[in-house]
Amino acid sequence: MEKDAKIYIAGHRGMVGSAILRKLENEGFTNFITRTSATLDLRNQQQVADFFSSEKPDYVFLAAAKVGGIIANNTYRAEFLYDNLQIQNNIIHNSYLNGVKKLMFLGSSCIYPKMAPQPLREDYLLTGPLEDTNEPYAIAKIAGIKMCDAYRAQYGCNYISAMPTNLYGYNDNYHPQNSHVLPALIRRFHEAKENQVPSVTIWGTGSPKREFLFADDLAEACYYLMQNYNEPGQVNVGTGQDISIKDLALLIKKIIGYEGEINFDTSKPDGTPRKLMDVTKLNEAGWKYHTTLEQGITLAYNDFLSKGEMVAQR
């Protein structure tokens, strides 16, 4: 990407989009186009068409999406499918119509079958049923990968897809019901410490394993891939290492300094037993993560504390 290129980051205020913006600013890029959802509804076909026609970006990072944890995914099934399809359809198609040089589409590890072999390789896509609780979101993201590949095949568009593992970091969502597991645990242990609650209860057995990547590491990977990768199909972005929910809870408890007990409500669902990404393709392309889980959680918790009441109300 040329240093004076016009770059559109869809979702620049979210955790991923803001990390990409920080990375590009650190690399010396200055010509950004950004819009908030209040001024540009990415679900609206005409608004997106008008935006691309007037702004004509050179490069696009598609980090905008309707996202949430297991409860949000399962509760708002129609919105997670409709909103995400609309957002990506509008951006990908209008990128083609307006001559965007390169586009990166960001998805999620939930695109892979629920019971796929571990670790999850890129070629496991569409080889089995999805996890039911987030199937609508996963289907939208699979459609985005295939759309990028279709526009590449038919029109020669250089559109690439990156599938990150579970993310956390600055500007995360700490909503009590709609957040993902790691930020949800940060909030719950923090509030338990502040309110001197004797125990924290966590859903499930604590045995499922999850992989976590610091969002600023993802931003580095995205920048690297935009500079060096030009192939069809998705690229997994992760650490290649996972941790049980129980051990994650113990680590967060230690970082926050909570001294109470941890209880596991085994009447509640565990979800997918394991979701570890195979990152061989990414490593062979020349990139590896560098922020450890303990380092990243410490940074995320300090960010949580700095936001104070603003976070508590989200």
Question: Does 308 appear as a known binding residue?
Answer: no
188 annotated among ligand-binding-site residues: yes
Of the candidates 166, 167, 169, the one whose C-alpha atom is nearest the C-alpha of residue 302 is 169
Query: Can you tell me the distance from the alpha carbon of 137 to that of 201, in angstroms, rounded to the nearest whole number?
Result: 27
Find out whether 209 is annotated in a ligand binding site: no
* 69 appears as a binding residue in the annotation: no
* Separation of alpha carbons 191 and 290, rounded Å: 30
**What is the Rg, in whole angstroms, of the alpha carbon atoms belonging to the chain?**
19
Tell whether residue 106 is among the known ligand binding residues. yes
Burial class, 129, CB count within 10 angstroms (exposed 0-12 / middle 13-18 / buried 19+)? exposed
Q: Is 263 annotated as a binding residue?
A: no
- What are the tokens at 95? 């990128």
Specify whether the CB–CB gap between 267 and 308 falls below 8 A: no
Residues serving a catalytic function are 137
| 141 has binding-site annotation | yes
Check the annotation: does 43 bind a ligand: no
CA dist 7 and 241 (Å) reads 32
Q: How distant is the alpha carbon of residue 61 from its chain centre?
A: 13
Q: DSSP letter at 122? A: G
Instruction: Write the burial class of residue 134 (CB in 10 Å: 0-12 exposed, 13-18 middle, 19+ buried).
Output: buried
Residue 167 known to bind ligand = yes
Residue 165 known to bind ligand: yes
Is 22 annotated as a binding-site member? no
Residue 270 assigned as binding residue: yes
Amino acid residing at 215? A
233 annotated as belonging to a binding site for a ligand: no
Distance CA 11, CA 62 (A): 7
DSSP string covering 258-308: --SEEEEETTS---SSEE-B--HHHHHHT------HHHHHHHHHHHHHHHT
Annotated binding site: 11-17, 106-109, 141, 164-167, 180, 188, 203, 210, 270
Annotated binding site for substrate: 188, 203, 210, 270
Annotated binding site for NADP(+): 11-17, 106-109, 141, 164-167, 180
